[in-house]
Chains A and B, each alone.
Chain A
């Protein structure tokens, strides 16, 4: 009887383990952003861009604006390296657009990357939007360990907070397509 109980315990630990190892699933349209708490940027300009008043933790839905573009990347991923200039052009196009500037924000999350590594990636590619480390893969696990690069567009602001409107994996689409999509989402809301 005691042996039977022990094997029940083994079974319970086994059942619980996958939940601990990978808490989330790959995000899809209609899902809510979850498990993405990050440290507020040290750089006051980056905090101002995101509309965060002070240091400490924040959730992406705390960011001011109406839409958020999130890039899940790694400094060690050759595809992310190749895409970095394209993603930079997207940020510049958003900032140059009267309709999108201030309404659409961008962040990047470096999965498995330390602060040092994210900072190196930022400097190497002259990335202007805020990047955050996810050194211990906590966010990566909450996102179902998506392959990189992975892109998410979600709502932010007072209504429909953190609702995912679109996701995309791999290479970025042509800039115009992405901009049209952002403009379209803004008009619908």
Chain B
């Protein structure tokens, strides 16, 4: 190895190690929940390949939910736009405050005839205990636990470690995917981008 390669290697190594403390800013902010959050450290931002694209019909699915027995994507056909929020896993940083944030945006979803479906690959008991910490969520929370991550895999957001990406999909009333955002797993996605996308596809119901 020549000197320049050694220098580059050493600096890259130092830079990577020095970034490690920064993930602290992404940790959930809440007082009590913070002590229960498992911090996996800085993760590979995206670790899967999308299997759908904007313009495709959304893959149909039915999943068990915390509140109802099952929720099917098809039940919203013709009446609602559907925002699917995949988050990596219960009890992890960022996810533990992303949904509480959405919990005060019900009015925005209603404004655009939209429902929000929160999905993780955890089982229902885990999702129950985790979401109890968030207050009463107004949107359904679905478990893509078994067959493990099957729905996440259909969308192409199942990571190689069996967790899901931090992904947002907007499916219009005709069942067509209109917006996809698979963002850095270590950061919370920008709310405004999703709202702008909802606004762009919104066609008010004809009374």
Interface set of A (CB-CB < 8 Å, partner B)? 2-3, 6-7, 9-10, 13-14, 16-18, 20-22, 74-82, 111-112, 114, 116-117, 120-121, 124, 137, 140-141, 145, 147-148, 169-170
Residues of A within 8 A of B13 (CB): 10
B21 contacts the other chain (Cβ, under 8 Å)?
yes
B100, A81: Cβ atoms closer than 8 Å: yes
A141, B30: Cβ atoms closer than 8 Å: no
- With A75-B104, A76-B101: A21-B21 Cβ-Cβ less than 8 Å: yes
B192, A116: Cβ atoms closer than 8 Å: yes
**Shortest CB distance B126–A (Å):** 18
B17, A114: Cβ atoms closer than 8 Å: no
A82, B135: Cβ atoms closer than 8 Å: yes
* Binding site secondary structure of chain B: helix
B42 contacts the other chain (Cβ, under 8 Å)?
no
- With A3-B6, A78-B133: A117-B101 Cβ-Cβ less than 8 Å: yes
Residues of A within 8 A of B180 (CB): none
Query: Which 9 pairs of residues, A with B, have the shortest CB-CB distance?
Result: A17-B18, A76-B101, A76-B97, A116-B192, A13-B14, A77-B29, A148-B29, A10-B14, A78-B100
Q: What separation, in Å, do the CA atoms of A3 and B10 have in the docked complex? A: 10
Q: What separation, in Å, do the CA atoms of A76 and B29 have in the docked complex? A: 8
B51 contacts the other chain (Cβ, under 8 Å)?
no
Q: What separation, in Å, do the CA atoms of A129 and B34 have in the docked complex? A: 28
Residue of B nearest to A3 (CB): B6
B135, A141: Cβ atoms closer than 8 Å: no
Can you list 7 A-B contacts with CB-CB less than 8 angstroms, sorted by A residue number?
Answer: A2-B6, A6-B10, A21-B22, A22-B21, A76-B188, A112-B25, A148-B30
- With A82-B135, A116-B191, A120-B105: A76-B100 Cβ-Cβ less than 8 Å: yes
B174 contacts the other chain (Cβ, under 8 Å)?
no
